Amino acid sequence: MSSAVSPLAPKKYPSMPEIDGVRIATAEAGVKYKGRTDLLAMVFDEGTTAAGVFTRSKCPSAPVDFCRSNLPEGKARILVVNSGNANAFTGKKGRVTTATVGAAAAKAVEAPESSVFMASTGVIGEPLPADRICEHLAGLVQKARPEGWLDAARAIMTTDTYPKVVTATVKLGDTDVTINGIAKGAGMIAPDMATMLSFVATDAPIAAPVLQELLSKGTGKTFNAVTVDSDTSTSDTLMLFATGAAEKRGAPRITDAKDPRLAGFRRALNRILKGLALQVVRDGEGARKEIEITVTGAKSARSAKKIALSIANSPLVKTAVAGEDANWGRIVMAVGKAGEPAERDLLAIWFGKIRVAHQGERDPDYSEDATSTYMKRDEIAIRVDIGIGRGKATVWTCDLTKEYVAINGDYRS
């Protein structure tokens, strides 16, 4: 397995502020990895609301089942996350594990089991030893402190080459509220959503149903618009927690998703989600380049997104970008195979601002040299105009390199 950090990693990390009502602790539980943290507890004050979106896999992991069954209560007191073992496809043993960890976590925070959430990421099919997690829980709750967001992001990494954190501060009413997010994910990344875990917390006082609506709508153009390898994990989990602690500083309690005071918060949350999603793509296994794909002029936004994902998931497009080759013929191929309405002789394709094809053939003015220079960049923007409507969508992916094959050819062994 490669240990080199992605060349697309952020040059520096933001200083992560505290979120009033959230405390964090990590431990080296030795679930699989040695000499690094692999267990995260995030403890929430009473009154914290919760929302979540999960993998659409028909074979979800045991923790996903566990979270889904607790989510209707909409209350969270603790989140427990381990890396190294996904507790997926572990049958009855998996359910016993989540029940055992759930009970121990509830006891540690002296709260109902329905306020416990958990996530696991790593190898599929290996039984997860509950005791290695349980023995740490009381201690973690005791030592949890408001700082440590970057440590939290590190503890949940698997093949990630860097921790992923984002923060924003925004007005809710006249009061500043903060949103912090962490994520992990590098391979098995595809809508919907990825071997992707992401946890976002805020001190804004927002009721659980409103939080759920914000999160569900926010994923469409963020986490559900990124793909590394078209493979959807059994474990994808994105959760949003709101402690409400800003209420005592004057922030209004929001109980209606249509409340106009939410507008700024919604935009900030969507930026957080997009920031985290892009960091996942930029850490795509073996990735050397980020690729932004915008499809315009499709029959509908849904059709545009399907075409964009067909391009983003094409191994031939992704290997061409890896080879710094502006092989727009493969983009035509990917448009064609998407099965969506398209008119060959109306297609236009751009790499950055260079139009390489229009009206169904090579652009006569297109300069191979300029395009070759453009393809050497770290961030490649591809735009395709279908020319038949007004549907538009943007998705993000990364290139497909030999390193991806190397990482995934030796992962388990």
Q: Binders of a copy of itself among 144-203, rule CB under 8 A? A: 187-188, 190
Annotation says 195 is catalytic: yes
Is residue 387 within the footprint of a copy of itself (CB under 8 A)? no
Residue 410 CB contacts under 8 Å (≥ 6 apart), including other chains: 1
Question: Beta strands 290-298 and 379-385: pairing type?
Answer: parallel
- Give the C-alpha separation, 39 to 137, whole Å: 9
Residue nearer to a copy of itself on the CB measure, 106 or 400: 400
Interface residue with a copy of itself among 98, 243, 296, 314 (CB under 8 A) is 314
Residue nearer to a copy of itself on the CB measure, 88 or 215: 88
Min dist. Cβ of residue 408 to a copy of itself (A): 4
Interface residue with a copy of itself among 104, 357, 382, 393 (CB under 8 A) is 357
Selection from 223, 225, 238 nearest residue 302 by Cα:
225
Feature table: binding site: 158, 184, 195, 285, 408, 413
Is residue 397 within the footprint of a copy of itself (CB under 8 A)? no
Site mask for a copy of itself (CB under 8 A), range 253-292, x = bound: ----------------------------------------
Selection from 195, 193, 230 nearest residue 56 by Cα:
193
Residue 303 CB contacts under 8 Å (≥ 6 apart), including other chains: 340, 341, 389, 391
Is residue 139 within the footprint of a copy of itself (CB under 8 A)? no
Min dist. Cβ of residue 363 to a copy of itself (A): 10
Interface residue with a copy of itself among 22, 109, 308, 335 (CB under 8 A) is 335
Q: Which stretch binds a copy of itself (CB under 8 A): 96-104, 107-115, 253-261, 404-412?
A: 404-412
Tokens representing residue 316 in the block: 């031939």
Residue nearer to a copy of itself on the CB measure, 56 or 390: 56
- Give the C-alpha separation, 361 to 371, whole Å: 16
Interface residue with a copy of itself among 28, 47, 89, 270 (CB under 8 A) is 89
Feature table: binding site for substrate: 158, 184, 195, 285, 408, 413
Residue nearer to a copy of itself on the CB measure, 148 or 191: 191
Question: What does 43-87 look like in DSSP terms, one character per residue?
Answer: EE-TT-EEEEEE---SS--HHHHHHHHHGGG-B-SEEEEEEEE--
Min dist. Cβ of residue 234 to a copy of itself (A): 5
Selection from 75, 54, 113, 41 nearest residue 243 by Cα:
75
Is residue 85 within the footprint of a copy of itself (CB under 8 A)? no
First to last CA, the chain: 10
Question: Beta strands 164-172 and 175-184: pairing type?
Answer: antiparallel
Length of the chain equals: 413
Q: Which stretch binds a copy of itself (CB under 8 A): 158-166, 241-249, 298-306, 327-335?
A: 327-335
**Treating both helix axes as pointing N-terminal to C-terminal, what angle do 62-70 and 91-109 enclose, rounded to 10 degrees?**
50
Is residue 2 within the footprint of a copy of itself (CB under 8 A)? no
Please pick, among 167, 195, 219, 401, the residue that the annotation labels catalytic. 195
Residue nearer to a copy of itself on the CB measure, 92 or 258: 92
Phi, psi angles (nearest 5°) of residue 35: 70, 20
Is residue 347 within the footprint of a copy of itself (CB under 8 A)? yes
Active site residues: 195
